Amino acid sequence: MTLSNKKANCGDQIDRISDFPSNVIDGILEHLNIRDRARTSILSKKWRYIWTSFPRLEFDKEFFDLYDGDSDQEDFVDHKPNISRFITEVLLLHNGPIYKFTLFMHRHFNIKIEFLVKWILFLSRKGVKHIQLVNNTYHSYRMPSHLFSCQELTHVRIRHFNMSVPPNFRGFKSLLHLHLEQIKFELGALESLISGCPLLEELCILNCSGYECVDLSASPTLKVFHIEYNHAIKSICLEKANSLIDLTLIVYRDGVSGLNNILPKVQRLTMGLDSKMLYADVIHPTPLICLKYLKLSTVNLEQREELLHIVSVLKSASNLVELVMETCCDKDYKTEVPDHAEELDCSSCCLNQLLTVNIKVKTNFKHVMSLIRFILANSSSLKTLTLDIDLGYKKSDVPILFGISRDLLWMERASQRAHVEVLHQRIDYDFKDYRYY
């Protein structure tokens, strides 16, 4: 055997994968699902237990889909105990801290509450920082109290649980992000939870119930606040939320205090009102100098006063970059369609930073067209304005659409590059499909 052949044979026996740097190994494991991570134990002796110390465990939708794909519909239910057993074994075998834990509970896989309690108890002893518990089953679980013992949490996302806060709760002193969706709170639970998070920066409350008010007085560091609440909510207090820069409010009654005090610092604002409410009663005249993104839903432009108020809001937002608006019509509000468009100031060029506009409209085109004329004439940097029209399916819509297109074509534009696009959604009930023109 030649010397070169001996060197080649020696090279073939080098265990290259065992000598990977730790950052390379972490990068490999990060791109594998939990089952494939466990399978890396057969690669070599060194790799046998590496996966058990990986600090992130994700039993997500992909994990449950793997069991879904491995089974026929008849024996689908047989995988429920296997999944609970697998998750339990993974946790018991884990060596070291667990910084991130994700559990996506598939709608067909009801996990027994005793397993969930054991898992949360185990995580509370592992220094978990980021936890996601997403319940997509038809059963609403009670949140295990051990969650409130996880003192190192920084990110929490919980969906579809019943929640009460234990009396010995000491707060989440490090929590930065809290996302709550479809949570049924016991009385006082939400208030106790928020007040126990002094460093909170992002709070989302979506379609939750069991609470009457939200007070952000104890959250001076809050930067992002999104809330969609039901008719039972009485009040939202924003008086001391002076750090807010991203605000979403979907409200059905008047009860928001402190809104106009914090608006001058807000950069992104999304609002939706009950169709019987007016923005003129909610947003008072104030300079919106930091606002870059504005989305207003259920805008009642059938009322002239509301149109003029929306224009005043836009004039106060000189740095606005993107505008999204959806109009509505109040069936209880009787008004005559004006026979001429409202004359608005089209010479101020007050929207020099505005680039994108999307408007969806169903009725009263006179006021909408006045608003569009105002935007086109005062937006020197505008790139795209999209008008999405929903008129139904009558053939009589054709002359209306033709008239709108003609008027848009002749409107004065401050931006030479402004592109105006008209979309018409037509619903054909004979074929029950959607057609876009």
pLDDT reported for residue 134: 95
Q: Tell me: the pLDDT tens digits for 92-114?
A: 988 889 999 999 988 777 788 99
Q: Tell me: the pLDDT tens digits for 282-308?
A: 998 889 999 999 999 999 888 888 999
Q: Do 422 and 404 form a contact (C-beta atoms < 8 A)?
A: yes
pLDDT reported for residue 264: 95
Alpha-carbon gap, residue 76 to 78, rounded angstroms: 5
Phi, psi of 131 (to 5 degrees): -130, 135
Q: Do 66 and 43 form a contact (C-beta atoms < 8 A)?
A: no
Q: How far is CA 334 from CA 302, 341, 360, in A?
A: 9, 18, 21
Alpha-carbon gap, residue 299 to 356, rounded angstroms: 18
Residue 180 has, within 13 A of its CA and on its CB side, a CA count of: 23
- The model's pTM is 0.84
Alpha-carbon gap, residue 10 to 226, rounded angstroms: 62
Helix, strand or coil for residue 120? helix
Output the DSSP codes for 253-302: SS-EESHHHHGGG-SEEEEE--TT--GGGTS-S---TT--EEEEEEE-TT
Length of the chain: 437
pLDDT reported for residue 403: 80
Q: Which residues of the chain have pLDDT under 50?
A: 6-8, 10, 71-78, 333-339, 427-437
**In the 8-state DSSP scheme, what is residue 362?**
-
Strand 155-159 to strand 322-327: parallel, antiparallel, or no bridges (unpaired)? unpaired
pLDDT reported for residue 428: 43
Tokens 């997500």, located at residue: 60
Alpha-carbon gap, residue 409 to 74, rounded angstroms: 61
pLDDT reported for residue 341: 53
Spatial CA neighbour of 40 closest among 57, 56, 52? 52
pLDDT reported for residue 409: 86
Q: Which tokens in the block code for residue 118?
A: 């054991």
Q: Which tokens in the block code for residue 216?
A: 């952000």
Output the DSSP codes for 177-194: EEEEES-EEPTTHHHHHH
